[in-house]
């Protein structure tokens, strides 16, 4: 069985953690950073880039670089606000009203789940590299106020990435797990989670390893990006008034404005004012135009007042639902990078009289909590118990378009609730069960999660048949609904996934496409690796020739040096050739020539105890690099024979079973 990891799938950045030696840790990515930008893009060559690589092309390739995907996942087009769709790339609604992202480079459209799955796959690959073993399942965090559709869509993304989801965990709950880990005292905790794209607040009672969630509330369309947008609008309006040009209509200018706004927001957390300088932001008849503005904290706070007001209501609702007063809160835990904004911290202090806890890293605490939950599931951590709640009320639509609530919000999960319904017309042979989620009394004003029909009801007067409808919510917060006719025993059940942007057929199709592309990408990677290894070999051989000239002079190792020079010419001839087998042969010949030259060095060393300083034997590192198993691709037919010939040679078998490029490992 492979490892279980915890993933904080963030709007701005994502983090992966794991339990190691009984303690949760954050795993650095392949670039050496502990956080990975939640950005996916496509280059002009149609190659996918993720994280920091994608971030670097944001300005120059805005149409094909996608961020804020978390706001789109599992959402219908009409559920998004203007800030969410004000992005430099193209988004649209498909025929069913789901969100689709368009890429001009690949000339196709993507469901947000498809792109997010690529991000999850990178996080898993980084974790496998660190752990040295396969990761086959994960605990993934979501905002506490995510509805059933968004949770199911997150699970779909993991399935597309080839990962099993052991638990969907609410982000504030994960933060509380990290805060309360190894704490034995009893505390009432308020978790204030303001991330890049979403806002959550949860109230928990933590006592001796038991984490009991009392209430949760939030806003999935409110986050740090909204604060950035206020600065973008301020800059764009000033520029519009001055030059009569709206920069928000220019994709590259909009992306530059967004990056400058985020930087200014961060700087204002420590400074009273900051300069925003954007040279050559656009051009006009008069020539290039620039932005030079000074933004102080007072102006920023005045721009953001409406957003602060939106933060107040969820906190008050959560307090009311829990039955607690502000004085009952023992500790406030701030989560998410946007909680570093001074006016946000001041707002929290006005709501709860205690100073916020500063002992947790707001960028990593959710991933740490997810890792702790993965340790609970795997059995690595004992004596910890988590009791979560459902964030929104669940019910069904009844006659007259009203919402009948079966499971109220903030009900502890897992839970099962049922009720008995009847027909509204005489001799009615079937009923339609329309499942809704939300807090409005009218069914049409709440989120539709799906519907199904129960047929075969015996003819009877209105109100006589009895249909029992049951709602089951599992520990992930995912819902299953069943309806049973008590007279005939006929039953119909459905797992709610209708709100996801992808149906089962689309998911299977994407998985097959991903496998096909994985084969293609693997072959491309193999070719690139061979070429890079050959170039490295040439560089090291030329360096070795220079060392030989210093050591032996022009004639001391003439035969060996000439052999290396000729072998280098052969490799250079075939390095850009379409025949990889010729490249393999020439590389092998250069290796043999280098061995001969290195043997000459070794022989000279025995007779001269004071060799010229500065000459180093590079053979060891050269052999490690050139004979690494990345050099071979068992799936290439031309490569199999060369592979077998080489591995039966005097240099032995260098296969590395942990190398993902050396095994049939597909995304």
**For range 443-465, the mean pLDDT:** 83
Confidence of residue 438 (pLDDT cuts 50, 70, 90): confident
Residues 468 and 481 sit within 8 Å (Cβ to Cβ): no
* Cα–Cα distance list, 51 to 225, 229, 299, 362 (Å): 18, 22, 32, 20
Give domain 224-306's CATH number out of 3.30.70.260, 2.40.50.140, 3.90.640.10, 3.60.60.10.
3.90.640.10
Q: Which pLDDT score, from 0 to 100, does residue 555 have?
A: 67
Q: Which pLDDT score, from 0 to 100, does residue 373 have?
A: 92
Alpha-carbon span 646 to 653, nearest angstrom: 8
* Cα–Cα distance list, 338 to 40, 133, 193, 334 (Å): 22, 35, 9, 9
Which string of b and e fits 560-569 if b means at least 16 CB within 10 Å? bbebbeebbe
**For range 452-457, the mean pLDDT:** 83
212-258: pLDDT as tens digits: 889 999 898 899 999 999 999 999 999 999 999 999 999 899 999 99
**For range 307-312, the mean pLDDT:** 92
**For range 133-138, the mean pLDDT:** 92
Q: Which pLDDT score, from 0 to 100, does residue 265 have?
A: 95
Q: Which pLDDT score, from 0 to 100, does residue 498 have?
A: 44
Alpha-carbon span 293 to 144, nearest angstrom: 38
Structure-token pair, residue 226:
């909204």
Q: Which pLDDT score, from 0 to 100, does residue 645 have?
A: 39
Q: Which pLDDT score, from 0 to 100, does residue 443 have?
A: 84
Helices (H), 20-139: 52-55, 82-85, 112-131
Examine the pLDDT at 478 and tell me if it is beyond 80.
no
Residue with more model confidence, 491 or 239: 239
Examine the pLDDT at 93 and tell me if it is beyond 50.
yes
587-617: pLDDT as tens digits: 888 888 888 888 877 777 666 554 443 344 4
Confidence of residue 120 (pLDDT cuts 50, 70, 90): very high
Q: Which pLDDT score, from 0 to 100, does residue 392 have?
A: 84
Residue with more model confidence, 443 or 55: 55
Q: Which pLDDT score, from 0 to 100, does residue 435 have?
A: 87
CB atoms within 10 A of CB 13: 21
Alpha-carbon span 603 to 615, nearest angstrom: 15
Examine the pLDDT at 660 and tell me if it is beyond 60.
no
Give helix then strand counts, H and E, for the chain: 16, 28
234 Cβ contact list (under 8 Å, min separation 6): 295, 299, 303
Q: Which pLDDT score, from 0 to 100, does residue 482 have?
A: 86
Say whether domain 3-222+308-388 belongs to CATH 3.30.420.40. Answer: yes
Examine the pLDDT at 646 and tell me if it is beyond 70.
no
Examine the pLDDT at 396 and tell me if it is beyond 60.
yes
Q: Which pLDDT score, from 0 to 100, does residue 436 have?
A: 87
Confidence of residue 372 (pLDDT cuts 50, 70, 90): very high
Residues 171 and 199 sit within 8 Å (Cβ to Cβ): no
* Average predicted confidence (pLDDT) for the chain: 82
The closest of 87, 81, 110 to 98, measured between CA atoms, is 110
Q: Which pLDDT score, from 0 to 100, does residue 276 have?
A: 95
Q: Which pLDDT score, from 0 to 100, does residue 311 have?
A: 93
Active site members: 8, 70, 171, 193
Q: Which pLDDT score, from 0 to 100, does residue 610 have?
A: 46
Helix (H, G, I), strand (E, B), or coil: what is residue 285?
coil
Q: Which pLDDT score, from 0 to 100, does residue 28 have?
A: 94
CB atoms within 10 A of CB 113: 30
Q: Where are the domains of the chain?
A: 3-222+308-388, 224-306, 394-500, 506-662
Q: Which pLDDT score, from 0 to 100, does residue 378 have?
A: 86
431 Cβ contact list (under 8 Å, min separation 6): 421, 423, 453, 454, 457, 467, 483
Strand ranges inside 365-444, DSSP E? 385-389, 394-398, 402-407, 412-413, 415-421, 430-437
Compute the CA torsion angle 590, 595, 597, 603 (nearest 10 deg).
Answer: 180
User: What are the residues facing 334 on neighbouring strands?
Assistant: 192
pTM of the model: 0.71
Alpha-carbon span 388 to 464, nearest angstrom: 38
Q: Which pLDDT score, from 0 to 100, does residue 273 have?
A: 93
Residues 71 and 197 sit within 8 Å (Cβ to Cβ): yes
492-522: pLDDT as tens digits: 776 664 444 555 566 566 666 656 666 666 6
318-365: pLDDT as tens digits: 999 999 988 899 989 999 989 999 999 999 988 888 888 877 888 999
40-86: pLDDT as tens digits: 999 998 899 999 999 999 888 999 999 999 989 988 888 888 878 88
Confidence of residue 653 (pLDDT cuts 50, 70, 90): very low
Alpha-carbon span 150 to 167, nearest angstrom: 14
Q: Which pLDDT score, from 0 to 100, does residue 125 have?
A: 93
Structure-token pair, residue 142:
């979501």
Helix (H) or strand (E) holding 573: helix 558-574
Q: Which pLDDT score, from 0 to 100, does residue 1 have?
A: 58
Q: Which pLDDT score, from 0 to 100, does residue 182 have?
A: 72
Examine the pLDDT at 307 and tell me if it is beyond 50.
yes
Confidence of residue 137 (pLDDT cuts 50, 70, 90): very high
Alpha-carbon span 363 to 359, nearest angstrom: 12
168-207: pLDDT as tens digits: 999 998 998 888 887 767 889 999 999 998 999 999 998 8
* CATH homologous superfamily of 394-500: Substrate Binding Domain Of DNAk; Chain A, domain 1 (2.60.34.10)
Q: Which residue has the tokens 């700087």?
A: 267
Q: Which pLDDT score, from 0 to 100, does residue 401 have?
A: 82
Q: Which pLDDT score, from 0 to 100, does residue 409 have?
A: 87
Residue with more model confidence, 298 or 149: 298
């Amino acid at each position: 069985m492979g490892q279980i990891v915890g993933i904080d799938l963030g709007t701005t950045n994502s983090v992966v953690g794991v339990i190691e030696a009984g303690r949760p840790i954050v795993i650095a990515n392949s670039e050496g950073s502990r956080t990975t930008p939640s950005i996916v893009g496509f280059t002009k060559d149609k190659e996918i880039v993720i994280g920091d690589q994608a971030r670097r092309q944001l300005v120059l390739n805005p149409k094909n670089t996608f961020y804020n995907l978390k706001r789109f996942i599992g959402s219908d087009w009409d559920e998004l606000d203007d800030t969410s769709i004000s992005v430099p790339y193209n988004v649209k609604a498909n025929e069913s009203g789901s969100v689709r992202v368009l890429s001009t480079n690949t000339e196709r459209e993507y469901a947000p789940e498809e792109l997010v799955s690529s991000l999850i796959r990178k996080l898993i690959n980084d974790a496998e590299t660190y752990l040295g073993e396969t990761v086959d399942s994960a605990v993934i965090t979501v905002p506490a106020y995510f509805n059933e559709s968004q949770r199911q869509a997150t699970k779909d993304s993991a399935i597309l990435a080839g990962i099993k989801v052991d638990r969907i965990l609410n982000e504030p709950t994960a933060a509380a797990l990290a805060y309360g880990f190894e704490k034995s005292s009893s505390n009432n905790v308020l978790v204030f989670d303001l991330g890049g794209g979403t806002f959550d607040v949860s109230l928990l009672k933590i006592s001796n390893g038991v984490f009991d969630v009392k209430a949760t509330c939030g806003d999935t369309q409110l986050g740090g990006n909204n604060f950035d947008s206020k600065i973008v609008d301020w800059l764009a309006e000033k520029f519009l008034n001055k030059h009569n040009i709206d920069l928000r209509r220019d994709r590259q200018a909009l992306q530059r404005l967004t990056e400058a706004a985020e930087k200014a927001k961060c700087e204002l957390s420590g400074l009273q004012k900051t300069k925003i300088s954007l040279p050559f932001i656009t051009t006009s008849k008069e020539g290039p135009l620039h932005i030079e503005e000074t933004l102080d904290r007072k102006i920023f706070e005045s721009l953001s007042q409406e957003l602060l007001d939106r933060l107040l209501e969820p906190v008050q609702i959560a307090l009311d639902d829990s039955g607690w007063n502000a004085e009952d809160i023992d500790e406030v835990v701030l989560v998410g990078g946007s909680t570093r904004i001074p006016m946000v911290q001041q707002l929290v202090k006005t709501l709860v009289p205690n100073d916020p806890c500063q002992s947790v890293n707001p960028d990593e605490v959710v991933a740490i909590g997810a890792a702790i939950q993965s340790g609970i599931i795997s059995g690595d951590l004992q004596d910890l118990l988590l009791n979560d709640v459902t964030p929104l009320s669940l019910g069904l639509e009844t006659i007259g378009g009203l919402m009948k609530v079966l499971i109220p919000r903030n009900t502890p999960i897992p839970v099962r609730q049922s009720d008995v319904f009847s027909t509204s017309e005489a001799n009615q042979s079937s009923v339609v069960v329309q499942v809704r989620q939300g807090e409005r009394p009218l069914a049409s004003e709440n989120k539709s999660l799906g519907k199904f029909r129960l047929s075969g009801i015996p003819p009877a007067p209105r109100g006589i048949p009895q249909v029992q409808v049951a709602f089951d919510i599992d520990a992930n917060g995912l819902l299953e609904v069943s309806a049973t006719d008590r007279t005939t025993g006929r039953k119909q059940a459905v797992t709610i996934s209708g709100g996801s942007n992808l149906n089962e057929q689309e998911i299977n199709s994407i998985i097959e496409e991903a496998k096909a592309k994985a084969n293609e990408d693997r072959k491309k990677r193999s070719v690139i690796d061979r070429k890079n290894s050959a170039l490295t070999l040439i560089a090291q051989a030329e360096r070795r020739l220079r060392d030989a000239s210093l050591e032996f002079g022009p004639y001391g190792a003439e035969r060996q040096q000439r052999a290396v020079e000729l072998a280098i010419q052969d490799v250079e001839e075939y390095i850009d050739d379409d025949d990889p087998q010729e490249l393999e042969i020439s590389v092998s010949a250069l290796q043999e020539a280098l061995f001969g030259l290195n043997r000459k060095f070794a022989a000279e060393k025995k007779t001269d105890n004071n060799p010229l300083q500065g000459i180093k034997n590079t053979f060891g590192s050269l052999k490690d690099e050139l004979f690494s198993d990345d050099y071979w691709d068992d799936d290439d037919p031309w490569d199999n024979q060369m592979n077998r010939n080489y591995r039966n040679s005097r240099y032995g078998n260098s296969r590395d079973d942990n190398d993902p490029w050396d095994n049939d490992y597909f995304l």
